[in-house]
């Protein structure tokens, strides 16, 4: 028996080297005439904006730059970007960056069009009017925000990450250009790559997976398993950069049509409290949550193991091998431990509560309570 599901993929993907140089023509194709370019200082400093802004100039599209996006993008970033968009008369947003600028642009697309505060649009299908079109140009291979329906924003007063989710805020087009990811430093390649792997594993093993999310998740795991170490080791290895960007895109398609689960619940709680890098938090939580969920996900984790190229004699052995491989990967990529982010014992209860409250908590193969999260945190900080 197969469960009913629906499938929608509103974003057109243009994959290939040089795709970022078509931003100008894509603004026009989306019906735009004036663009707010949303990015951040890191992307600007890496010299990645010029090829996008030059293509806007070449297409005679007036543009204004907004660089005030923080990591783990904040509500205040969205409110300022929406104000800038309105003042400039922007009818289109061009997001250039990792997940933070792209999530900020997706949330801004609603607030600029409809007004109000970004938290007014928390949850699913809350866009009251058509949002501004977003052209997304990813510079990392991890979040896949360029193809997903959600924007994760931090409520700075509540220190809580919430999600605005609607197919209407999915970018009109993703210009997935592997050359834009080639200057990522090793740690960013590792963090974002582990985020992509977590998307694929959670989308595949969670309780709401469908055949249409399984298919991209499986290929995503194969690509990330093959290319993540290579991409981190040698950033100029363009085959590895292409493989990682494809893996990230497919993982994004997968979790958009399934969900993420408890690894992300914990990572988002940690990100909101300590401003810790999302991918690193995922990488730390992933093996621990897999161990916790093991008895409800043996067959699925065994398939994860085969996608990662492991050999085994029984599903149980495969599932355990998958957990060990994920741990090994984190070691090979030299990822930091949880203590590096200043996590404090007295915050554990609050982290557990926020994780349990996360909308993706019910999707985990084995449901986790706040106490289960606290137990995991204790093990991770031993
Ligand atoms: Fe993620």
In the chain, what are the domain boundaries?
12-181, 186-380
- Look at the block and give the residue holding tokens 């505060």: 117
125, with CB counted inside 10 A (0-12, 13-18, 19+), is exposed
pTM of structure: 0.95
Q: How far is the CA of 260 from the centre of ligand 1 (A)?
A: 8
Q: What's the chain's length in residues?
A: 382
Query: What whole-number distance in Å separates Cα of residue 137 and Cα of residue 14?
Result: 10
Pick from 10, 55, 330, 33: nearest CA to 150? 10
Q: How far is the CA of 99 from the centre of ligand 1 (A)?
A: 9
At residue 63, what are phi and psi to the nearest 5 degrees? Answer: -140, 160
Q: Ligand 1 mean position to 197 CA, how many Å?
A: 9
Distance 196 CA to ligand 1 centre (A): 7
Separation of 160 CA from ligand 1 center, angstroms? 16
CA of 155 to the centre of ligand 1 (A): 18
Task: Find the 145 Cα to ligand 1 centroid distance in Å.
Answer: 9
Question: What tokens appear for 15 in the block?
Answer: 């994959």
CA of 163 to the centre of ligand 1 (A): 12
Burial of 346 per CB tally in 10 Å (0-12, 13-18, 19+)? exposed
12-181 and 186-380 share one fold: no
Report the CATH fold assignment for 12-181.
Rossmann fold (3.40.50)
Ligand 1 centroid from CA 149, angstroms: 13
- Ligand 1 center to residue 54 CA distance, Å? 31
Task: State which CATH number among 3.40.50.300, 1.20.1090.10, 1.10.4000.10, 3.20.20.370 fits the domain covering 186-380.
Answer: 1.20.1090.10
Residue 264 alpha carbon to ligand 1 centre in Å:
6
Question: How far does residue 194's CA lie from ligand 1's centre (Å)?
Answer: 9
Query: 268 C-alpha vs ligand 1 centroid, how far in Å?
Result: 9
Q: Which of 149, 136, 246, 135 is nearest to 200 (CA)?
A: 246
- The answer to whether 348 touches 377, Cβ cutoff 8 Å, is yes
Distance 289 CA to ligand 1 centre (A): 15
Q: Give the count of beta carbons closer than 10 Å to the beta carbon of residue 167.
A: 15
**Cα(176) to centroid(ligand 1), Å:** 18
Cα 199 to ligand 1 centroid, rounded to whole Å: 6
Beta pairing partners, 138: 97
Q: So what's the pLDDT on residue 129?
A: 86
Q: Which run of H or of E encompasses 28?
A: helix 23-29
Span from the CA of 263 to the centroid of ligand 1 (angstroms): 9
Which pLDDT belongs to residue 229? Answer: 98
For 202-257, give the secondary structure using H, E and C. HHHHCCCCCHHHHHHHHHHHHHHHHHHHHHHHCCCCHHHHHHHHHHHHHHHHHHHC
Cα–Cα distance for residue pair 36/351, rounded to 1 Å: 36
Cα 379 to ligand 1 centroid, rounded to whole Å: 22
Beta strands 35-38; 92-97: pairing state:
parallel
**What is the whole-number distance in angstroms between the Cα of residue 255 and the centre of ligand 1?**
9
Q: How far is CA 255 from CA 55, 92, 196, 217, in A?
A: 32, 26, 10, 8
CA of 296 to the centre of ligand 1 (A): 22
**Ligand 1 center–CA 60 separation, angstroms:** 35
Residue with tokens 């894509």: 26
Using the mean position of ligand 1's atoms as its centre, give its distance from the Cα of residue 372 in Å. Answer: 21
Phi, psi for 150 (deg, rounded to 5): -110, 155
Q: What is the pLDDT along the chain (382 residues), one digit of tens a residue?
A: 788 888 989 999 999 999 999 999 999 999 999 999 999 999 999 999 999 999 999 999 999 999 999 998 999 999 999 999 999 999 999 999 999 999 999 999 999 999 999 999 998 877 788 999 999 999 999 999 999 999 999 999 998 889 999 999 999 999 999 999 999 999 999 999 999 999 999 999 999 999 999 999 999 999 999 999 999 999 999 999 999 999 999 999 999 999 999 999 999 999 988 988 999 999 999 999 999 999 999 999 999 999 999 999 999 999 999 999 999 999 999 999 888 898 999 999 999 999 999 999 999 999 999 999 999 999 998 7
Tally of CA atoms within 13 A in the half-sphere of 53 that contains its CB: 14
What does the buried/exposed string (b/e) look like for 192-216 if buried means 16 or more CB atoms within 10 Å of the residue's CB? bbbbbbbbbbbbbbbeebbebbbeb
């Amino acid at each position: 028996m197969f469960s009913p599901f629906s499938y929608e993929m509103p974003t057109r993907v243009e994959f290939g080297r040089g795709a970022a140089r078509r931003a100008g023509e894509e603004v026009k194709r989306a019906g735009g005439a004036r663009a707010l370019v949303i990015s951040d200082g890191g992307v600007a400093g890496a010299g990645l904006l010029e090829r996008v802004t030059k293509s806007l100039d070449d297409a005679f599209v007036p543009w204004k730059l907004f660089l005030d996006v923080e990591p783990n993008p904040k509500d205040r970033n969205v409110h300022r970007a929406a104000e800038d968009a309105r003042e400039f008369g922007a009818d289109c947003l061009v997001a250039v960056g990792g997940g933070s600028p792209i999530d900020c642009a997706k949330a801004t697309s609603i607030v600029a069009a409809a007004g109000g505060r970004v938290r007014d649009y928390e949850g699913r299908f809350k866009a009251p009017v058509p949002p501004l079109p977003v052209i997304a140009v990813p510079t990392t291979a991890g979040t896949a925000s360029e193809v997903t329906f959600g924007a994760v924003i931090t409520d700075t007063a509540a220190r809580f990450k919430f999600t605005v989710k609607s197919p209407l805020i999915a970018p009109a087009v993703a210009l997935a250009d592997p050359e834009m990811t080639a200057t990522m430093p090793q740690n960013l390649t590792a963090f974002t790559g582990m985020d992509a792997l977590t998307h694929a594993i959670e989308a595949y093993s969670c309780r709401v997976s469908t055949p249409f999310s399984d298919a991209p998740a499986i290929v995503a795991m194969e690509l990330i398993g093959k290319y993540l170490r290579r991409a981190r080791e040698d950033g100029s290895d363009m085959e590895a950069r292409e493989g990682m960007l494809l893996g990230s895109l497919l993982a994004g398609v997968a979790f958009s049509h399934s969900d993420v689960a408890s690894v992300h619940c914990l990572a988002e709680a940690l990100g909101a409290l300590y401003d810790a890098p999302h991918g690193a938090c995922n990488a730390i939580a992933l093996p621990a949550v897999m161990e916790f969920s093991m008895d409800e996900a043996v067959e699925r984790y065994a398939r994860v193991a085969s996608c990662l190229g492991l050999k085994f004699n029984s599903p149980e052995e495969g599932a355990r091998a998958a957990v060990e491989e994920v741990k090994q990967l984190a070691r090979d990529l030299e990822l930091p431990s949880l203590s590096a982010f200043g996590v404090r014992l007295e915050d554990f209860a609050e982290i557990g509560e926020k994780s349990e409250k996360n909308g993706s908590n019910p999707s985990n193969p084995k449901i986790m309570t706040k106490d289960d999260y606290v137990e995991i945190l204790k093990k991770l900080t031993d």
